[in-house]
Amino acid sequence: MSTSNASETVTPTSDLSSSSLPTVSTYNVPTLIPIKLHRDNYMLWKELFIPVLQNYDMLSILDGSAPAPPRFLPLPNLSLSTTENPAFTLWTKKDRTCKIWLHASLSESILPYAVGCPTARDLWLTLEKRFANLTRSHVLQLKSRLQTLKKGSATMLDYLQSLKHIADSLAAAGAPLDTSDFLAHALSGLPSDYDAFATSIRVRSDPIQPEELHGLLLSEEIAVENRLTHIPPSDSHLHAFHTPQSSASSAPSPQALNTYSQSSRSVPRSHSSFSSSRPNNFTPRPTHYNSNFSRKPKCQICSKLGHSALTCRQRLNMAFQGPTPPSSLTQNTTPM
C-alpha cells in the first residue's frame, strides 16, 4: 500500500509488491458505483458494491473472514517486551480504506448511521440491519400496489406513468420486474372496454416490449373514446323520441313530437294507395295543417298552455276548482 497526495491506492490482491496489478484510488471509488445508498435501494446498492470489493480484495474486511490480527508481537527473548505487528498495520489501512469507500457511497440522509462505527465491518452490519428488512417490506408493498393498480377514470398516459414508477422503484430496490410480468399487470388493470385489445396482445406469437405497448394503448384509448361517444346520425331523431322522461313527466316533449312529425312527413307515400283510401268528397287540407301539430298543448284541467292533463299539478288536487264549463254542457244534466 502506498500513499500519494493523501489518497490511498489499493491492489486487488494481498501481494502489495506487484506493480503490474491494477490499482484504484479512494477518490475514484464513487465512479465505480453509479448510485448512492438511500432508504429504498439497499439491495441494488449492495449488488453493485460487492463486485468492487471482491475485485480489490476488500470483501474479507466486511464479511469477517479476515479479522484483525494481534496488534503486537512478543519478542522471542524478552517475554515482557512487544513489537508492532506489520500485519495489523496493513489490516488497519485496508479497513480504513474500506470505510472511506463506504462513506463515499452513502447519501446525505444515510451518513448519520456511520456515527459510532469504529470499523468498516461495524458500519456494514449497521447498514444491513437498518435497511435489509426495510427494503424487503418496501418490495412487498410495491408488488401489492402493482397488483391492485387500475386505470379507472385516469387517462392512459397517467396510468402508464404510474406503472412505470412502480417498476422503476422495484428495480431500485433490487427486485426488477420481468417484461412479461409488467405486460400482465398493465393489461389486467384496464377496464372492460379494452377486453378485445388485451386478448389480441395475449395471443400474439411474437413478444411485445413495454415501449411498443405504450404506443398501442394510447392509440386504443382514442379508438375507445370514439366508440363510446359516436351516435349514428340516422337514428338521432328516434333516439330523442324514445328517451325515457323524468318521473315528473312521462309524456314526450313538444320538440320531440315536432321532430318525429317532421321525419314522418319526409317518408314518401304511394300515390295509388293514398288516392284509393280517400273518399270522393275528400277536400285537401291547407298546407299549414301540419304546422299546428307543433303548437303547445292545452290542459283540460287548468286550461293552461304548455302541458296536458296527465302532467298537470292540479290533477290530484280535489280542492281545485277548474274553469266553469259552458252552459251547453250543463243544461241537459239533472241532479241525482
Give residue-wise pLDDT tens across range 68-113.
888 887 766 655 556 788 889 999 999 998 999 999 899 999 999 9
Q: Same domain, yes or no, for 117 and 217? A: no
Whether the CB-CB separation of 113 and 127 falls below 8 Å is answered with yes
Q: Same domain, yes or no, for 20 and 92? A: yes
Rounded Cα distance between 200 and 190, Å, is 14
Region of poorest pLDDT, from 215-229, 256-270, 319-333: 256-270
Within a 10 A sphere around the Cβ of 200, how many other Cβ atoms?
11
Q: Which residue has the higher pLDDT, 304 or 117?
A: 117
Residue 124 lies in a domain: yes
Q: What is the mean pLDDT of residues 25-32?
A: 63
DSSP structure string for 226-291: HHHH---GGGHHHHHHSSPPPTT--SPPHHHHHHHHHHHHTS---HHHHHHHS-TT--PPPTTTGG
Q: With 80 as the cut, is the pLDDT of residue 120 above it?
A: yes
pLDDT at 291: 45
Mean pLDDT for the chain overall? 74
pLDDT at 331: 60
Please give the share of the chain, as a percent, with pLDDT higher than 70. 65
Q: Same domain, yes or no, for 112 and 24? A: yes
- Give the count of domains, the chain: 2
With bands split at pLDDT 50, 70 and 90, how would you rate the model's confidence at 258?
Answer: low
Beta bridge partners of 9: 2, 25
Residue pointed to by grid coordinates 396482445: 201
Residue 299 lies in a domain: no
Q: Same domain, yes or no, for 8 and 114? A: yes
Residue 270 lies in a domain: no
Rounded Cα distance between 172 and 37, Å, is 10
Q: Which three cell numbers stand for residue 36?
A: 448512492
pLDDT at 43: 83
Radius of gyration of the CA atoms of the chain, in A = 44
pLDDT at 310: 78
Q: Same domain, yes or no, for 129 and 94? A: yes
- What is residue 309's DSSP assignment? G
Q: Same domain, yes or no, for 21 and 92? A: yes
Residue 290 lies in a domain: no
Q: Which three cell numbers stand for residue 226?
A: 370514439
Q: Same domain, yes or no, for 12 and 126? A: yes
Give residue-wise pLDDT tens across range 43-56.
888 888 999 888 88
Residue 36 lies in a domain: yes
Q: With 90 as the cut, is the pLDDT of residue 254 above it?
A: no
Residue pointed to by grid coordinates 449488488: 47
pLDDT at 20: 37
Give residue-wise pLDDT tens across range 130-154.
888 777 888 888 888 888 999 988 9
**Pairing state between β 7-10 and 24-25:** antiparallel
Beta bridge partners of 84: 72
pLDDT at 155: 92
Residue 209, domain extent: 149-224
Q: Which three cell numbers stand for residue 120?
A: 468498516
Residue 259 lies in a domain: no
Q: Residue 48: which of 57, 37, 39 has the closest Cα?
A: 37
Where b means 16+ CB within 10 Å and e means fewer, 173-187 reads: bbbebeeeebbbbbb
Q: Same domain, yes or no, for 95 and 156? A: no
Rounded Cα distance between 42 and 63, Å, is 17
Q: What is the mean pLDDT of residues 247-275?
A: 47
Q: With 90 as the cut, is the pLDDT of residue 315 above it?
A: no
